[in-house]
Structure 1
Amino acid sequence: MQHPGTPAGLPPPDFLLQLFRHAVWRAQPLHGMAQHLPAPPAGRGRTVVLGAGKAAGSMAQALEALWPPHAPLSGLVATRYGHVPPRPAGLAQRIEVVEAAHPVPDAAGLNAAERMLALAQGLDADDLVLCLISGGGSALLTLPAAGLTLADKQRINRALLDSGAAIGEMNCVRKHLSRIKGGRLAAACHPARVVTLAISDVPGDDPGVIASGPTVPDETTCADALDILARLRIDIPDTVRAALQAGTLETPKPGDARFAGHQVHLIATPQQSLQAAAEAARAAGVAAHILSDEIEGESREVGKVHAALARAVARHGQPFARPCVILSGGETTVTVRPQQQPGGAPGRGGRAGEFCLGLAQALQGQPGVWALAADTDGIDGVQNNAGARVAPDTLARAAALGLRIGDHLDRHDAYGYFEALGDLVITGPTHTNVNDFRVLLIL
């Protein structure tokens, strides 16, 4: 039902979805790539493309569309299964795109990483390497360090994902347990010139954290990785622990001569997408406020904080006046806890859905507040939804179906809760990734 004062004549859920689409549109690689492309190498120099991430397929297509048709271009990128965008009519394919598993790596990702290192061999100073990097590349570029098997990496990756660790901590460990992350890919390209074009999915937009920084020198250390593993109680083989203690798995550091002349350009960021959504809201006559593009923490707790802010606006007109939208981004976490109920099967859902559970529980049916949270890659966790919606009647409709929100939070089952309500946000893969998108509408 349409609420009085709904922006642009749209029902609140449709208006919020429209803002999400503006955010995703801004993050498409074609919009930010052209201004950062170098000129093709002169003479006999080659241009080799290497890369990985959830946006790697669309980044490759954008590069093919923008690169001079007469200039040679070849290479290989890896993206998530099902994330290769449809090819525009008339666009010739010059870059090979392979698919692999995310968030837990598989043999296809390992094979792609091996092939990329092989393509980096034999380059010279006349050659140019264009590296297309986006979020998800940590899992898609899998090349275990000596002493580790693919099964070891899969187990460690699952443990990191379930631990609630921040993305920087996870990627510190991943860098030191890899033969391609943490600057090693770019180092392997020496003496060729390397230009990295990246789409940021991390708080702070640190290129060393995006996809575990395969093309930039690494400031973290083996000791840092050991401390994180110890604190999170994640086991690794004794031989690998010894190698970390001895520093033999250390990553290339800032000042390494192999990175001289390299460039890194961010072609899309979370802040740019939040700004695009804010501009669309203002164009519809609604004030828009961006809290931050760097919010981290437990998803449900972040939801509670957003709920407290929305209730203050709805009840007291502070700190913002109604009507307004409140936007935020970043990368929250879901710490998977032991199941308390008989049978204890874990629920389905990701960060965006868990945020919505925490938000709905804390809003307590507050009138005049609607919300949408979604992952900008179109996939929340490993399900088929991008996220979920919350409305003033969410709790009441759920209660009528016999659903208890606390039970769903306990087993991390956001998908089951919002599926029953018809409030999942399903977009399919968006072919980009600037991480969490959250928007609250207060009327």
Structure 2
Amino acid sequence: MKEKIYWGNHTKKAKENFPYEGKIVPFEFIKNLALIKAASAKANLNLKAIDKRKAEIIFNIAIEISKGKYSKQFPLSIYQTGSGTSTNMNINEVISNLAKEKYKINIHPNDDVNLSQSSNDVIPSAINLTLIKETKEKLLPEITKLEKEFKKKAKEFKNIITTGRTHFQDAVPVGLSFEFEGYYLIIKKQRKNIENSLKNLFEIPLGGTAVGTGLNSPKGFSEKAVYHLKKLTGLPLKKAKCKFEYQSSIGNISVFSSSLKNFSLEIFKILQDLKIKNYFKEISIPPLQEGSSIMPGKVNPVAIEVLQQIIFDVAGKDTSVSLSSLSGNFELNTFLPLILFSILDSIKILTFGIKTFNEKALKNLKANEEICRRYAENSPSIATPLSLIIGYERTAEIVKRAVEEGKTIIEIIREEKIIPEEKIKEIFNLKKLAFPHHFKDK
């Protein structure tokens, strides 16, 4: 059965003017916008700006929406007026018409539901609230799990030695555990950067109305509204000290978006390393599915490739946010729906990509100890400590000959009798080479 329509004329016009259905304003945002309507109704009641029954009805309907009810009543595309006014009026009209049907009372969408508010302070506040909740509840827990898994792998690979690489060339030996510990610390640092940038979003401009001055809201509305919003969400929200700043600029939101991008780019580097190590057989990534429609038995690192595609998408969305940030004029940024959709979608796809990679690839990733050891032994760069004994230039000659003749460094040293056999074993002990400041000769 088709659901009854509760939106009004403003929503109808916006839907007719911009009927693109590919990117609808996310319902996660609508639910948080509803919480702001509920908190505002409470604040208006506290300040005797609205009739008690009207305030209670607005509050009750708004809470119903915040809990997921009436989701099909919000059909508008993100491609609408840049302040998000159409979506603000959408929820105002829905609450108004539901009040008329359910409670037999006339509640005006502007004079009552939108009392003491403007799209210009409500929409930025709801964006902040949505990004905070989605990040804390969904993205950060998955990042933390990924972080812990890399730390676990570092311990698992404690005694495995492979060759380091720079410029896509073999370098001196390195512990595989050192590499994975590095990955763990990179993720940990980037997670903290996301958390720190998120802190700036707890300050919201609710009560700033049209241009940050608070015109058409009673004195004390901002404090009351934020107080009630804190109670409804359990979040340590704060009233913006300067509402003009938060309505005219999305600097804090842009910084948060950049933290998601920077995290993603660091992850991309790690994924590239793992993909190459998998190719060299140093590690084995679990096979998930057939990799070719024509080549039987071919298996690809699909969990890595999925997350890498997501990372490119996140980087692109951050560019949209950056351009939107610099394009705001005077008292209002007019690219808010695009900003909301871009960052919220980045949070969603990163959450999915990280969870998928962690569960389908990283958790069951194995190291091939023998192959790793062989790479370390055969690297020409294990000659590096020899330079302390016979000098850089003579060592370079040995390396050149080894490469040209396809022999190992130790084979050349033995042929030329450069140092005694017992010295060879001492200098070219792989553990000593890989852990020069942690090695203890038993």
Give the alignment's TM-score, normalised by structure 2: 0.24
Bigger Rg over Cα = 2
Give the alignment's TM-score, normalised by structure 1: 0.24
Write 1 or 2 for the structure with the bigger share of strand.
1
